[in-house]
């Protein structure tokens, strides 16, 4: 996919509604930057996905076998915060395809794939185990192997994001809770190494999870929160990981607490604050200093944040409720802005504002945001999740119903002709080519 996830997606949450949904918001804020499509190193700066390769036609060279895609999603019980993740197998992501929940496969965690290999991997929600699955006869998935991260202090292998697939024999697990990267081999299902993320800051907490592949390196970013009041600090780190040597260098930015990362066609990486951060500012819970709704950038090949680039999302949108950033094509991207004429914000609804169906998509051209900012009328307002994935080189955004009971994929590859694609029951998390 492209850039979006955060810590502990499938943690069991039995707290009030606002907290259970906040865990979801944090978890999927990053689900868009994720690995290479076919398991080989990609030199295309805009192709940073865990998705597949080829067209969704009658086959892709694998005999006469038809194309097959996997969609990872979850059913959420918003009353108690419980979650039931599943995998749906579909012939394409077209709007004509119907997904019957009765035909989906429970996976007990977060699933992802290197793309096009007939394999997918599941990081379990309540265990340090990674399961390897293959598509068997009659398209029935078979669990064939597993790997444990227990010796590295990992409690749940679904705790961060889809794995980063570097090559057929190398993948990263980004352990956000322990601030480390575990290197593993998806073919042999063995661990080949690990290294720390040295990003601790006194009085602050952080994690790992928003990333993109930029040439021969992985760029990993995440914001900080204050230990004193758990509010976002206006501070973000970037870790630059050499994909061959695993050597890491770092950069820090004190202007913005970002949660989304979107990569433009030229490889530049754009980061934006969470929609929930804007809600917290409106509600007076953002603490001091406040981290404003904003966008920052790291240029392709650069080792620092771009000090000349900063977008004030309040100023850009004329709205105090804005956030998220998703990648499109042709240099375009998308952000979310809340329309209070659709759903009025009151004292009672404010705590759940991120989940209300009032968030609209707006299009921007990266680097020329003010002149190109315009509403996307073809995507209906939805909950405030800037979800995205890239499949077959095609970027999709996924909207979510306010009750989390369903999601909709939209093909955003053509900024002038955005098309509705697959509808999915539950909360859409990821999509990838299997065959």
Please report which confidence band the pLDDT of residue 9 belongs to, taking 50, 70 and 90 as the band edges: very low
314 found inside a domain:
yes
- For the stretch 40-87, pLDDT in tens is 443 322 223 333 223 333 444 455 689 999 999 999 887 777 889 999
6 found inside a domain:
no
**Residue-level pLDDT at 75:** 93
CA distance 202 to 60: 52
Please report which confidence band the pLDDT of residue 211 belongs to, taking 50, 70 and 90 as the band edges: very high
**What's the whole-model pTM score?**
0.87
| Pick from 81, 386, 29, 19: nearest CA to 230 | 19
- For the stretch 215-239, pLDDT in tens is 999 999 999 999 998 999 999 999 9
CA distance 153 to 35: 24
405 found inside a domain:
yes
Nearby residues of 124 by Cβ (< 8 Å), 6 or more positions away: 108, 109, 130, 131, 156, 157, 158
DSSP H or E run through 232: strand 232-242
CATH code of the domain in which 417 resides: 2.130.10.10
DSSP one-letter string for 248-314: EEEEEESS----EEEE-TTS-EEEE--HHHHHHHHTT-S-SS---SEEEEE-TT-SS--TT--EEHH
88 found inside a domain:
yes
Please report which confidence band the pLDDT of residue 36 belongs to, taking 50, 70 and 90 as the band edges: very low
| Pick from 147, 134, 208, 210: nearest CA to 178 | 208
12 found inside a domain:
no
**Residue-level pLDDT at 418:** 94
Q: Contact 278/292 with Cβ under 8 angstroms?
A: no
How many structural domains compose the chain? Answer: 1
Q: Count of residues for the chain? A: 435
98 found inside a domain:
yes
Strands 210-214 and 217-226: antiparallel
CA distance 241 to 419: 36
Q: How far is CA 113 from CA 33, 123, 132, 162, 358, in A?
A: 13, 11, 10, 8, 33
144 found inside a domain:
yes
Q: Contact 117/39 with Cβ under 8 angstroms?
A: yes
Within 10 angstroms of residue 132's Cβ, the number of other Cβ atoms is 17
CA distance 431 to 408: 12
Domain that holds residue 182: 17-433
What tokens were used for 313? 């999302």
What tokens were used for 370? 């003010």
CA distance 124 to 51: 20
Q: Contact 362/373 with Cβ under 8 angstroms?
A: yes
136 found inside a domain:
yes
């Amino acid at each position: 996919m492209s850039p979006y996830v955060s810590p502990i997606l499938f943690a069991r949450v039995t707290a009030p509604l606002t907290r259970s949904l906040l865990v979801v918001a944090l978890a999927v804020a990053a689900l868009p930057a994720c690995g290479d499509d076919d398991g080989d190193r990609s030199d295309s700066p805009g192709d940073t996905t865990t998705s597949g390769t080829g067209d969704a036609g009658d086959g892709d060279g694998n005999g006469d076998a038809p194309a097959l895609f996997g969609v990872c999603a979850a059913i959420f019980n918003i009353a108690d915060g419980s979650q039931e993740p599943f995998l749906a197998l579909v012939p394409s992501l077209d709007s004509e395809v119907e997904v019957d929940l009765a035909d989906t496969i429970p996976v007990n965690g977060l699933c992802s794939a290197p793309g096009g290999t007939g394999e997918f991997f599941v990081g379990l929600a309540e265990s340090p185990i990674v399961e390897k699955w293959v598509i068997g006869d009659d398209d029935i998935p078979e669990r064939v192997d597993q790997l444990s991260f227990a010796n590295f202090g990992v409690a749940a292998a679904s705790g961060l994001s889809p794995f980063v697939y570097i090559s057929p024999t190398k993948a990263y697990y980004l352990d956000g809770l322990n601030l480390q990267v575990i290197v593993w081999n998806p073919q042999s299902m063995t661990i080949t190494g690990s290294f720390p993320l040295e990003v601790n800051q006194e009085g602050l907490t952080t994690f790992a999870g928003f990333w993109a592949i930029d040439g021969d390196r992985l760029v990993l970013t995440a914001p900080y929160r204050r230990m004193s009041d758990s509010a976002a600090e206006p501070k973000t780190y970037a870790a630059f990981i050499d994909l061959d040597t695993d050597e890491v260098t770092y950069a820090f930015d004190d202007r913005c607490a970002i949660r989304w990362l979107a990569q433009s066609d030229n490889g530049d990486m754009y980061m934006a604050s969470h929609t929930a951060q804007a809600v917290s500012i409106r509600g007076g819970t953002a603490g001091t200093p406040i981290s404003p709704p904003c966008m920052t950038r790291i240029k392709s090949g650069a080792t620092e944040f771009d000090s000349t680039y900063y977008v004030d999302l309040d100023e850009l949108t004329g709205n105090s409720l804005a956030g998220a950033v998703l990648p499109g094509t042709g240099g375009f991207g998308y952000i979310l802005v809340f329309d209070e004429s659709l759903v009025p914000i009151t004292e009672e609804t404010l705590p759940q504002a991120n989940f209300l169906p009032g968030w609209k998509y707006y299009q921007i051209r990266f680097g020329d945001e003010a002149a190109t900012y315009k509403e996307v009328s073809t995507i209906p307002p939805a909950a405030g999740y800037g979800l995205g994935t890239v499949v077959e080189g095609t970027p999709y955004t996924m909207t979510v119903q306010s009750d989390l009971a369903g999601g909709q994929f939209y093909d955003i590859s053509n900024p002038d002709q955005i098309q509705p694609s697959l509808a999915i029951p539950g909360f859409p998390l990821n999509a990838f080519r299997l065959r």
